[in-house]
């Protein structure tokens, strides 16, 4: 990992040098589900609507789900199935919208990045262009980090 970040800001490199375990994984979403609820079981958060992180909304939508779920369970305390159906009805359209917007944004960002890369290198090479953070002027913009 340190080799991948060679030339970046010293403070960042110092922070990364403290990392003991590194995992690398892909970013995936799923198509919106038609339903989240079955009888007395329902889903919320990423289990219901895993989305691309491009809009930074996954956790926010999850918290909204939790609030709506709690409110509906309290409102229909004598009928859990109704509570879960009401929760789903309240949340599913909004979550679906954000999930699909995050996917669109991810695809747009990816296309722009590839276009910029082709323009910078004059080719369709998959080698990343030099990071702007390699410039000493840019590095000064990053606040110092000291782990000790
Ligand atoms: C790179 C990245 C950046 C992101 N940035 C943002 C951001 O800026 N803003 C934002 O709002 N969201 C962001 N998100 C999304 C956000 O992290 C998720 O949407 C959110 O954490 C979903 O919460 P959750 O409770 O549904 O799932 P999780 O947070 O995944 O919680 C599920 C928990 O269940 C546990 N678990 C799994 N299986 C079992 C089992 N069998 N038994 C017991 N426990 C189990 C897991 O260990 C985990 O702790 C980002 C996500 C990624 C990947």
Mean pLDDT in residue range 42-58: 96
pLDDT (tens digit per residue) in 92-101: 999 999 999 9
Determine if ligand 1 sits within 6 Å of the CB of residue 60: yes
Two tokens, residue 36:
């989240």
Look at ligand 1, atom 32, and give the residue with the nearest C-alpha: 46
Mean pLDDT in residue range 81-91: 98
67, burial (CB in 10 Å: exposed 0-12, middle 13-18, buried 19+): exposed
Mean pLDDT in residue range 24-36: 93
Q: Burial code of 92-123, b = ≥16 C-beta within 10 A, e = fewer?
A: beebbebbbebbebbeeeeeeeeeebeeeeee
CA of 59 to the centre of ligand 1 (A): 7
Q: Who wins on pLDDT, 119 or 85?
A: 85
Determine if ligand 1 sits within 6 Å of the CB of residue 80: no
Query: What is the sign of the dihedral through the CA atoms of 133, 139, 142 and 143?
Result: positive
CB 48 within 8 A of CB 36: yes
User: In angstroms, how far is the first alpha carbon of the chain from the final one?
Assistant: 21
Mean pLDDT in residue range 77-91: 98
- Number of other residues whose CB lies within 10 A of the CB of residue 91: 22
Domain ranges of the chain: 2-122+133-139
């Amino acid at each position: 990992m340190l080799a991948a970040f060679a030339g970046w800001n010293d403070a960042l490199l110092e922070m990364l040098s403290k990392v003991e375990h590194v995992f690398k994984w892909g970013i995936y979403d799923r198509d919106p589900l038609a339903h989240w609820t079955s009888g007395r079981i329902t889903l919320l958060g990423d289990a219901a609507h895993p989305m691309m992180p491009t809009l930074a909304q996954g956790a926010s939508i999850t918290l909204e789900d939790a609030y709506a779920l709690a409110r509906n369970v309290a409102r229909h305390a004598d009928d859990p199935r109704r509570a879960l159906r009401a929760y789903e009805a309240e949340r599913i359209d909004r979550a679906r919208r954000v999930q699909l917007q995050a996917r669109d944004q991810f695809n747009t960002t990816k296309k722009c990045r590839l276009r910029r890369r082709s323009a910078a290198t004059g080719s369709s090479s998959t080698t990343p262009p030099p990071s702007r953070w390699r410039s000493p002027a840019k590095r000064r913009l990053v606040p110092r980090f000291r782990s000790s």
